[in-house]
Amino acid sequence: MRSGLVDFHCHLDLYPDHAAAVERCERDGVFTLTVTTTPKAWLRNHELASATRHVRAALGLHPQLVADRAHEIGLWEELLPQTRYVGEVGLDAGPRFYRSFETQKEIFARVLTLCAAAGNKIVTTHSVRATKAVLDMIEQYMPPPRGRVVLHWFTGTAAEATRAVDLGCYFSVNVEMLANEKRAALTRTLPLDRVLTETDGPFTQTDARPTMPSDVWIAVQGLARLHGLSESGVESMIIHNLKSLLEEQV
């Protein structure tokens, strides 16, 4: 087990034992951003994370839940001053969720507007089949330096990646983004000084079990192979990128 790893997008409250998952991140020394899918879930996540050195809780309202949970945006707004980290938020234009896409955009616009007003938020963002719309809304509602977006599990085009970089975005990379040549080719276009690592556990699998934050080391290995760099060099780069992200707004 390596310490000094970064899992910038993980759902610790969706593992069978939430508290044990948090404790394991702390024991393993993995900086873990535990995202939430509803603002109601944030309170317990924040409570557990507050007792740790390595875990932080992000305040979310997942776009896939907006159809049923849009009314929780009021609670989200009420809780926002208590955290710097926001997520999981964003847009999902996949066929299962497209019916709520206009409502998703309304919620995401409010999220970005309020984060921009605060001026120091870090927003981990979902953009399935909606990269252009997400980038349009970032540009409109929260351009740099009013906050920072980390695009989680980015699946846009190389041109959209360039536009995201111009908008100040970072990218959190998981093993699935390196799983085949097509995905790896896109991931290779992401500037290394804007890359973080993630697992999106437990929604990904490692050795036929839910991925744990410590498994993010496999993404570090994959990035090292992709760019012809040493694993220790990539590990150090990820830590440097995290520090840069956290220091950009105070």
DSSP letters along 205-218, please? EETTEEPPGGGGHH
CATH hierarchy code of domain 5-248: 3.20.20.140
> What is the CB-side half-sphere exposure of residue 184 using CA atoms within 13 A?
13
Q: Where are the domains of the chain?
A: 5-248
**Which pLDDT score, from 0 to 100, does residue 200 have?**
98
What pLDDT is stored for residue 250 in this prediction? 38
Alpha-helical segments (H) within 4-50: 18-28, 39-50
pLDDT score of 2: 59
Which residue type does 137 have? M
**What is the structure's pLDDT at 248?**
75
Rg of the Cα atoms in the chain: 17
The Cα angle at residue 128 between residues 108 and 223, in degrees rounded to 5? 115
* pLDDT given at position 121: 98
Where is 29: in which H helix or E strand? Answer: none
Whole-angstrom Cα distance, residue 54 to residue 248?
Answer: 19
The C-alpha atoms of residue 222 and residue 175 are separated, in whole angstroms, by: 7
- What is the chain's pLDDT, residue by residue, as a tens digit (250 residues)? 456 899 999 999 999 999 999 999 999 999 999 999 999 999 999 999 999 999 999 999 999 999 999 999 999 999 999 999 999 999 999 999 999 999 999 999 999 999 999 999 999 999 999 999 999 999 999 999 999 999 999 999 999 999 999 999 999 999 999 999 999 999 999 999 999 999 999 999 999 999 999 999 999 999 999 999 999 999 999 999 999 999 975 3
Runs of H (alpha helix) within 70-169: 73-79, 101-118, 131-141, 158-166
